[in-house]
Structures are given as C-alpha cells and as structure tokens.
Copies of this chain bind each other. A is one copy, B any other.
Amino acid sequence: MFKKEIYMARREQLRKDMGHGIIILPGNHEAPCNYKDNTYWFRQDSTFLYFFGLQREDLVGVIDCDKGKDYIFANDYDIDDIVWTGPLPSVKELAASVGVENTGTLKELHDMIYALRSPTCDTPMPLYLPPYRADIRADLADLIGLKYPTVDRHASMELILACVKQRSIKSAEEIAEIEKAIETAYNMHVGAMKLAMPGRYEYELAGFMQGEAWKGNGPVSFPVIMTVHGETLHNHGHNNRLEVGRMLVMDAGAETAMNYCSDITRTVPVGGKFDARQKAIYEIVLGANLEAIRVTKPGITYKEVHQAASRKLAEGYKGLGILRGNVDDIVESGAHSLLMPHGLGHMMGLDVHDMENYGQINVGYDNETRPSEQFGLGSLRCGRKLQPGFVITDEPGCYFIPALIDKWKAEGTGKDFVNFDELEKWKDFGGIRIEDDILVTETGCRVLGKPIPKTVAEIEETMAQ
C-alpha cells in the first residue's frame, strides 16, 4: 500500500473533477471457482485499489462529493473468526490506514443509500462504474433499487471520464511498482527462454512462468500465452511439444502485491538458434518495435506511432517480396494488417489493459482522436494523444494466419499490394511478437524495467547458457 496521503489526494482530486454526487466504488468479493468457498486468488477491483488501496474482500468505498466525505463500509469479522484467522485489523483500522475517517456496516450503507431514494430528497441516484462481475452487478441492483439487467446502462459516464483522467497519468510511485512487476517478468521470460528446448511442452514453460510470478508475490497479470502457433492470436492452449523450426511466442506478465502489472512478449526459436527465415521476420518486427520507441513522445497520437511502426513492417515485407508498391500507400490501404491484425499497444497500470472495464473507447480515445474502422488499425486499443506519465505497451507482431490469407486472397482484399504467391511460402511459419512497456516522458519515452534479452544476439546468447 502507498502512504495514505496518496489515496487522500486521489479522492480529493476526484471530488474536484466530479463536483457533485455520491460515488459508490465496490471492492470485489472472493471469486468462486468450483464451489463458493473454493476461490480463485483474490483480486481487488482496480478502481477501488486506486482510490482506497485496501486488499480485503467485501469492502465498499463511498466518496461523497457534496459533503466532502469518504467512507468505507464493511462488516467486521466475527470475534470467533480470530481463532481461525489470527488477529485481523478492524474496518475502522483499515479505513484509517488510507485516510478514511468514516466507516459503517453494510446495513448502514444500505440505509444511507435507501435514504437517497426518498421522494423528499432531491439527491440524484448515486454514481457508479459499469460492473464486470455478476455478483457486484447484483449488489448494485439491490443497493440502488434497480433490476439486475438494467444496472449497466445506468453507470456514470462522467465518473468514467474522471477516473480515466487521473489514472492515465502514472506517478513516480506507480512507475516504481510497474518496474517491480517487470523485474518479475524478467525472471519469467529469461527462465522460460532457457527452457525453450525441443521435447518440452508449452505447459511446462507456462507453468514455470506462473510459478515465477507467484514467487514475485503476485499473480500473473493475464493468462500466459505460450505457443508455437503464435499465428493463432487467441490461443490459450499449452499442449504442443516444442520442436526445432518453430518460433515460440511467450506473452506474459506479473502483478506486484499491489496489483501493478507488467506485460512483456518475447519470441524465441525453439532450441536457441534462429534460422534465416526466422531471423528475417524477427528483424522486421524488432525494427517496428524500435521505431515506436524512437517516435513516441508527448503530443503525438498513439495512432501515429502505430502507423510509424506499420511503415517499418511494410518496408520489411516489401524487402521480402511479400508486399509490393509504395510503403505509404500500403499503410494507407491497410494491406500490411493482413500480417498484424491487431493494434500496436494499450495502456497499462493497475490493469494489464488499463481501465478496460470502463470501456476501451473511453480510455484509448477522446473527442480529438476516434477509432478507425479499418481492419487492423480498428483494433488499436489506444489511439489518443500521448501525455507524460502514460504507460503503454509497444507490441508489434507478424503472423502468417492461413485462414486469413486464404480469405483475403479469395475476396481479392489487398490484391494491389499483397503478393499472394510469395505469401504461400510463409503459411507454415507461425508468428512473432515483441513487446515492451514504455513510459511517455517529458521529451520522449523510456522503456521500463530491467532490459530483457531482445535482439537476435541477446536471445541466442541467453538460450546458450
């Protein structure tokens, strides 16, 4: 937990930005796995963490902008529980540790919110964020007096935008936590590289990574992607045997004990030596990753950074004879997206896709920069103008997706720029992605964390150890 003044200042800022209203920020409950008491690891809600910092389950935070007061509502543990749990802090003590003076039971929260419903009281409905867990949706329905299916549509856009405004700019303390998460990702990735030898299975390496994340005292920040079929973008199976000739895409990160995230991708040749084809594609993707780092700075939009990286990719593919024509025309047309149908990156912080629960468009776009409708560019999760303090991922990739190639060819999509005959030769290649987490600084950007082997030479050297 940060020191309490940080949370107090964040709440004060939110009150100032909102100006009015009663904001309800429910913390998470335990998440049942196969029965109520067998739970997944406890993950506190990120907004609750940002404003209240407390890790206990079943807490509700309230920020009253009208009266300038903060509350934590929760039921204290039963006195008998102490026999089983050891001594635990009271709700009062927890609240005080983050600078909150007012506490109450859940019954008192209900009474307080119920009073707002009174026809003699002109306070409007309390403000809340769109829930992403069904139990919280049910709680809000019950608390506010809504029908379960209608809860989401009454969420407050004003509150969303005020949260995005604050959380987009990372403070020095937050950057330090993110770099700690990358330190764990370093151990995950470097260790897994050394294990990426023929005969092993993807799940062994994925298991290793999850163990390393927990050894860093937090969970993985998202389900590990560990695949010799990197071209299958939504691939969470880990059943393939590693064979020389395949590129292994490892996309994984950790959370710190405070739930700040890392998100790193490395792609390595099984066995430790790149062959000529692998090296050719790898260098193209690395060139795009480095180009994004070169051009990222305040004032430029991330859409422009995406396009700069895209030009590098298009140039490279042109060199291999896979694409043809003028590079700017290729990128303008979106033809290069056949080999990278996703965006260059996304914000990262307390969530690996930071604030995605607020709605991606509210986080990554604004009135100035709207999402594109073009294939590929349309999948860019963050397009808006960069500001110092933004943390974003830089993750270009190259994927030879047979089903997509066949579809474009059959439809004639991109036929002016794509050399489909040449492309046939690459359909068995798989995919490559390279991802770093970068901080926008006053003058440019900085790749965060301890550097993780990234060049062909660095990877081959690491894997030879």
Contacts and interface: CB of A to CB of B under 8 A. Distances in A.
Nearest to A81: B234
Interface in A154-194: none
A154 B217 CA distance: 42
Contacts of A134: 133-135, 137-138
B35 A40 contact: no
A125 to B, nearest CB: 20
A227 B149 CA distance: 43
A343 to B, nearest CB: 14
Contacts of A238: 217
Contacts of A43: 33-34
How many A residues are at the interface, by size bracket? 35 or more
A207 B203 contact: no
A45 B40 contact: no
A293 to B, nearest CB: 26
B229 A36 contact: no
Interface in A4-50: 31-41, 43, 45-46
A83 interface: yes
A14 B41 CA distance: 34
Interface string A116-137: 0000000000000000111101
Interface string A350-362: 1111001100000
B404 A36 contact: no
A398 B149 CA distance: 49
Interface of A: 31-41, 43, 45-46, 81-87, 132-135, 137-138, 141-142, 148-149, 201, 203-204, 206-217, 222-223, 229, 232-235, 238-239, 259, 341, 350-353, 356-357, 401, 403-404, 407
